[in-house]
Amino acid sequence: MAESVAESDWNVRTFRLELLRSIPAGVIETVGTTFAVFLAVSVFGASQTQKAVLVASASVGLLLSLFVVQFIRRIGCSINDAFCFIAGLSATGFLVAALNPESLVVYLVGISVAQLGLTLSLPLFSQIYRRHYPDINRGQLFAVTGMVRKGAAVLAALGFGLWLREHPGDFPALLGIYSLSCVLMGICVKAMDPIKLRKTVGVRLFDAFGHVREDRPFRLILIAWMVLGFGNLLCFSIFVEFIANPDYGYGLGADQASFITTITPEACFLVTVLLWGFVFDRMNFFIVRVVINLFFIAAVLVFFLGGELWTLYLGLALHGIGKAGGNVAWSLWVTKFAKAEHVAEYMSVHTFLTGCRGTAAPFIGFTVAAAFSPQLVGVIGASLMIISTLMIWPLLKESLGGEKEA
């Protein structure tokens, strides 16, 4: 096991800068949760395939993130510099879309490039958290910044929704705010103490998958998470479509759509994430994972099968609670399994597989919803999450047995 960061020896400067970064990061989160698809539907009348491309673009970034870590090792640059470059790519994508407000093609390309960049850098943050935060309360420190991020997301969603309701033609200004937020995130990360990975002579793009072969618990968790994530993303991809498209019986406007799909779950995230951070630091990881799964299962069943306006709110409130725990677990779980030097590689495999399922899920979700019904999507998604939970059970029993022996 690699050396741990002592409880008294953690980087306060990084934590403060991460708090600052969380504000623009929260603003940008509203792109994926609500406004990318909402603008495509309400402004451009995008097709099912075009909306699926928007949702899937973030997952393409996750898929490609596997290779980012390997290229950084080869080039020898710091994680900080790599993030700044990627943040600049996202800022450019938003700006291009903002400057061409009448072109659906430019909108799709610009927003897709921006969202791709936002997820491309996610494995890099796991390395920052592993290097600069202590093992004993890493989850709680992450949860504090998560509260700030979600607080910013809630306020941004509320403000943007009300603004677009009154001024629907002013959406380019919203994209400009997203572009500026990317720049601000890059500045915060650049100001952190630099982190460099061990430089390699050559680039072996799939070298990180060697950990999957050698580490059995890591391999089994990835398989279970693949099933869970596909079911969750299948449902998540059509949340906005389900309530904004009048064909499905709701046809809600920008303010109400943003309140349901962003403000409600993000507010629940905000008030529960600190508790999840505490639980993550102190409880068996597999127990935490099972409880999170149960929240997600309940959320999609209530949301898609409830049939009432209040069940939309309740479903996404439950999803917000599950997402709070899922965000902590998704972002930090590799720090419990990987040696310090290999955290970014472990995470890159995790994000690559997330990208694989996330790229396919929107196309399947939109297709099934259009051909059959959104309710069927919810049932399929919940079933996959139940299967994933059952797959985790043997690992849970093994881990509890190991704790008793220790």
| Per-residue model confidence as pLDDT tens digits over 108-133 | 999 999 999 988 888 888 788 878 88
- Answer whether residue 397 is part of any domain: yes
Nearest to 171 by CA among 163, 181, 179: 163
Are 194 and 79 in contact by the 8 Å Cβ rule? The answer is yes
Contact 197, 73 (CB under 8 A): yes
Write out the two tokens for 35. Answer: 């406004």
Position 107 scores a pLDDT of: 93
Amino acid identity, position 196: K
- Distance separating alpha carbons of residues 281 and 77, to the nearest angstrom: 31
Is 51 within the bounds of a domain? Answer: yes
- Domain count of the chain? 1
Distance of CA 146 to the CA centre of its chain: 12
Nearest CA-CA partner of 35 in 164, 223, 180: 164
State which amino acid sits at residue 68: V
Residue 16 lies in a domain: yes
Q: What is the overall mean pLDDT for the chain?
A: 85
| Per-residue pLDDT, 403 | 57
Q: Examine residue 106 and state whether it is found in any structural domain, yes or no.
A: yes
Distance, in Å, from the CA atom of 243 to the CA atom of 266, rounded to the nearest integer, reads: 17
d(CA 310, CA 135): 40
Q: What is the pLDDT of residue 404?
A: 53
Q: How far apart are CA 226 and CA 213, in angstroms?
A: 16
Residue 322 maps to a domain: yes
Angle made by CA atoms 30, 36, 38, in degrees to the nearest 5: 100
The sign one gets for the Cα dihedral 108, 264, 305, 292 is positive
Q: Which residues of the chain fall short of a pLDDT of 50?
A: 1-9, 406
What is the pLDDT, as a whole number, of residue 313? 94
3-state SS, the chain, equals CCCCCCCCCCCHHHHHHHHHHHHHHHHHHHHHHHHHHHHHHHCCCCCHHHHHHHHHHHHHHHHHHHHHHHHHHHHCCCHHHHHHHHHHHHHHHHHHHHHCCCCHHHHHHHHHHHHHHHHHCHHHHHHHHHHHCCHHHHHHHHHHHHHHHHHHHHHHHHHHHHHHHHCHHHHHHHHHHHHHHHHHHHHHHHHCCCCCCCCCCCCCCCHHHHHHHHCHHHHHHHHHHHHHHHHHHHHHCCHHHHHHCHHHCCCCCHHHHHHHHHHHHHHHHHHHHHHHHHHHHHCCHHHHHHHHHHHHHHHHHHHHHCCCHHHHHHHHHHHHHHHHHHHHHHHHHHHHCCCHHHHHHHHHHHHHHHHHHHHHHHHHHHHHHHHCCHHHHHHHHHHHHHHHHHHHHHHHHHHHHHHHHC
Residue 81's domain is classified under what CATH number?
1.20.1250.20
Residue 332 lies in a domain: yes
Q: With beta carbons less than 8 A apart as the criterion, state whether 211 and 341 touch.
A: no
Q: Is 129 part of a structural domain of the chain?
A: yes
User: Do residues 276 and 285 make contact, with C-beta atoms less than 8 angstroms apart?
Assistant: no
Q: What is the pLDDT of residue 294?
A: 96
Domain membership flag for residue 141: yes
| Residue range(s) defining the domain that contains residue 51 | 12-195+206-405
pLDDT number for residue 7: 44
